[in-house]
Amino acid sequence: MKIISKIFFLLFLTFSSLILSDEIIQDRNGNYFLMKDDGTFVKLPKPKPGNKYIIQKKTIEKKSKSILKQPEKKARRRTNQGIR
């Protein structure tokens, strides 16, 4: 069982670097560009009438990590014996 998990892990590491994705970007003038992973841009032809490029909007979430952040207060319940 350990051998199988090691083989699976090695295969995962070797093939995970081969997965690359490109993004389609539209500028203000309506021109479409293909942005590759290496940072180069390739201008795409205008789509045929009735067709369009599908552009999915990304939401970028900024996680603020602060050392001085106050901890969240835990809920306290009042019982007959006092506050818990």
Residue 36: pLDDT band (50, 70, 90) is confident
d(CA 47, CA 32): 9
Domain ranges of the chain: 20-48
d(CA 33, CA 63): 30
- Residue 17 confidence (pLDDT) above 70: no
- Residue 81 confidence (pLDDT) above 70: yes
* Pair 47, 55: CB distance under 8 Å: no
Residues 6+ apart with CB under 8 A from 76: 83, 84
pLDDT in tens, 20-30: 667 888 888 88
